[in-house]
Amino acid sequence: MSIAIPVLDWSRFESGADRAGFVADLGRACRETGFFLVSGHGIPESLIYETFRVADAFFDLPVAEKAPLDIRKFGTNRGWTAEGSENLDDTTTQVDRKEAFNIGLEMAADDPRILSGEPFRGINHWPENLPGFKDTALAYFAAVHQLGIDLHRPIALDLGLDEHYFAPSLDAPLATLRMLRYPGGNRDGDAIGAGAHTDYGSITLLMTDDEPGLQVRPRGGDWIDVPQIPGAFIVNIADCLMRWTNDIYVSTPHRVLVPQRVRRSLAFFLDPNPEAVISALPGTGQAKYPPVTGAEYLKMRLDATYTPEPA
């Protein structure tokens, strides 16, 4: 059976030229593969380029300058992830051959949500002496966050809901922008860029540098390569949205093979607001899962991901 990952032009929906057709195509992809590509999204190419540039500048820093930002020091899913400190495929002991840097929703240290101990709220931890890094990363975060909210409009329509149903659960999300770099090398033995996994939140929007390596395993199928369309976002359904839709949508396993050359990507994980209750949506039948908040679900998944910090 041939399985295709569709490329959807966002302007069909946003312009009003073919809203119904876009909703139908998106709904089919969400039910069948859980993956689709989005072109025509309007995020400037210059912003994408600059975000890759500042990410490269960070990853090129000596380990001694990145180590104070180690993500395991903070408990808020923000900071630097060293190569070999994650194991996304929890069915193996295989560690991922990649490094990453995470930021979340920007907040001041005296934000009431931080002071009250709201789960996963915290300040971002920025590298020093990297001009433009913070401003560029926050501009990219804001642009992709808005696109993620907008993509939930046709998702809501496909599910028979009000177009803006999801917006109140996504306006202050536990979202993460993750800059990633996979060193190039051979694929001998058990080496993996990122182990087989599903994502945690509602949807993920991934921008790559067009270096191949990302693969998807649709239900009942084998691993297939995700097509590389320059400038298009790769979007996938994640576990919270599958749970929200009572398994109508599918969260599909995917992995990253060790690339032949260095591979870079920008992954935006749109997890819901911490207090958002994830329970079966209206019209989806008897609930298959008990309700859970966005924060509870994220904690459960992150606790299984990170290897302990070395002594």
What residues contact residue 98 under an 8 Å CB cut-off, 6+ apart?
Answer: 81, 83, 86, 180, 181, 182, 183, 193, 194, 256
- Sign of the Cα torsion 204, 146, 13, 228 reads negative
How many Cα atoms within 13 Å fall on the side-chain side of residue 295? 12
91-130 confidence digits (pLDDT tens): 666 788 899 999 999 999 999 999 999 988 999 999 999 9
Helix or strand or coil: residue 26?
helix
Residue 179 lies inside a defined structural domain of this protein:
yes
Residue 292 corresponds to which amino acid?
V
- Sign of the Cα torsion 200, 205, 207, 208 reads positive
215-261 confidence digits (pLDDT tens): 999 988 899 999 989 999 999 999 999 999 999 999 999 999 989 89
Per the structure, the complete domain to which residue 230 belongs is given by 7-302
Q: Supply 251's token pair.
A: 């969260």
Residue 2 lies inside a defined structural domain of this protein:
no
Q: Is residue 111 a contact partner of residue 121, using CB atoms and an 8 Å limit?
A: yes
Residue 276 lies inside a defined structural domain of this protein:
yes
Residue 184 lies inside a defined structural domain of this protein:
yes
Q: Supply 69's token pair.
A: 């930002």
How far apart are alpha carbons 301 and 145 in whole angstroms? 21
* Positions of the chain with pLDDT lower than 70, given as ranges: 1-2, 86-87, 89-93, 186-190, 304-311
Residue 311 lies inside a defined structural domain of this protein:
no
CATH of the domain at 255: 2.60.120.330
Against a cut of 0.75, is the pTM above it?
yes
Residue 59 lies inside a defined structural domain of this protein:
yes
Q: Is residue 159 a contact partner of residue 281, using CB atoms and an 8 Å limit?
A: yes
DSSP 126: P
Residue 71 lies inside a defined structural domain of this protein:
yes
Residue 309 lies inside a defined structural domain of this protein:
no
Q: Scanning the structure block, which residue is given the tokens 């939930």? A: 152
Give the count of domains, the chain: 1
- Sign of the Cα torsion 132, 134, 135, 141 reads positive
Helix/strand/coil (H/E/C) assignment for every residue in 259-284: CCCCEEEEEEEECCCCCCEECCCCCC
